[in-house]
Amino acid sequence: MQLSIKNKEYNYLIVGAGLFGSVFAHEMYKRNKKCLVIDRRNHIGGNTYCHDWEGINVHAYGAHIFHTNNEKIWKYVNSFAPFNSFINSPLAMYKGRLYNLPFNMNTFQQLWGVTTPMAAKAEVEKQINEASIKYPHNLEEQALSLVGNDIYQYFIKEYTEKQWGKRANELPPEIIKRIPIRFTYDNNYFNDKYQGIPVGGYNRLTETLLKNIEVRLNTDYISHKSLYNETAEKIVYTGMLDELFDFKLGKMEYRSLKFEHKRIDVSNYQGNAVINYTEGHIPYTRIIEHKHFEFGDQKHTVITQEYPQPFINVKETEPFYPINDNKNNILYKKYRELADKKENLILGGRLADYCYYDMHQVIASALKAVQKESSQL
């Protein structure tokens, strides 16, 4: 592989063309800084990347629905691409029956036949009291102490075990800090004021962010670290932090996903963008029908089945979810201490921060990093 590299040619080498890297590069370009963005994948956008399948924007790495309460962030993303009015109202399939999510009065009516908030609250409280768990020691006990047995058995237990590849009573309680319950007939999954999807897909957003930036795809930073470090005054790194340090303190754990995309010759396959399959014997966790994100009227459709799987390495699988248990968090802190000693290194994004972020949080953290960096210029 031939690399065209000049010593300190750029102000910033940005490793990763996802949302954090794209926002950081765009903002630094506005400040007359020269940036090079590289990514080991063959596309920009990170996990927000969409590919066009006969007029349908397919979310290549699972459903991405933008939502935020932050008006500044909402205006920011809309300055690069207009957003539609999509509202996320997923369904859950359990033993051949569909239930509304998140847990709300529609769900409780479907479960128990109750029609009033008073009756629903009484049933939830009765089941919580029956569980009689004061100090939860694992995820199962945590869920039972928050919502009781029915909601746990129908929607949480087997679904969570599929997601994490472990029994619910072996998972730490911290995975579920709270379970939102609504006593209104409201199927909007998010409570945020602003919600939608870029018209024409997320590529429009990231392409606009990176419009004037030099980008090199199919480019692996880790394999040529010492060489690429000479190209820029500072490195913005959005990849796995343990990989950056050659796993010398050990490997942090992640969960991965496999996506099976299928084109089907029907105009409407499931009538909803997202349906979760909560039973353990069904190998996928959900089916996504992409056309509903943009209210498509095509004569065909594209669905995606989402399968959780172990993360092995970046050549075979993608690291999607950090496993934030005590052991991994301690290891992350040790790697972070190593990173903090490098004055020319800036970390950001889900992998580098070893933290599950929503999209608006990634953008906010990138803007914060830009602000901090700009104050030092």
Of 207, 220, 318, 358, the active-site residue reads 358
Distance CA 263, CA 243 (A): 36
**Residue 76, token pair as written in the block:** 């920011």
Give long-range contacts, CB 8 A cutoff, 24+ apart: 3-6: 3/224, 3/227, 3/228, 5/227, 5/228, 5/230, 5/231, 6/231
Of 306, 332, 335, 353, the active-site residue reads 306
- Check residue 154 and report its DSSP letter: I
Active site residue 350: no
Of 277, 286, 294, 332, the active-site residue reads 286
Quick one: which H or E segment has residue 35? strand 35-38
Distance CA 88, CA 80 (A): 22
Active site residue 286: yes
Listed in order, strand segments (DSSP E) in 240-319 are 254-264, 274-277, 286-289, 301-310
Of 41, 159, 182, 335, the active-site residue reads 182
- Among 1, 66, 2, 3, which Cα is nearest to 229's? 3
- Among 356, 360, 153, which Cα is nearest to 255's? 356
What's phi and psi for 168, nearest 5 deg? -60, -30
Q: Are 105 and 184 in contact (CB under 8 A)?
A: yes
Q: Are 45 and 268 in contact (CB under 8 A)?
A: no
Of 135, 178, 297, 343, the active-site residue reads 178
Distance CA 7, CA 18 (A): 25
Active site residue 178: yes
- Check residue 350 and report its DSSP letter: H
Active site residue 182: yes
266 contact partners, CB below 8 Å, separation of at least 6: 300, 301
Of 192, 255, 284, 307, the active-site residue reads 255
Active site residue 150: no
Quick one: which H or E segment has residue 92? strand 91-94
Q: How many helices (H) and strands (E) does the chain have?
A: 13, 16
Distance CA 220, CA 308 (A): 25
Active site residue 356: yes
- Give, to the nearest 10 degrees, the angle between helix 71-78 and helix 359-376: 90
Active site residues: 178, 182, 255, 286, 306, 356, 358
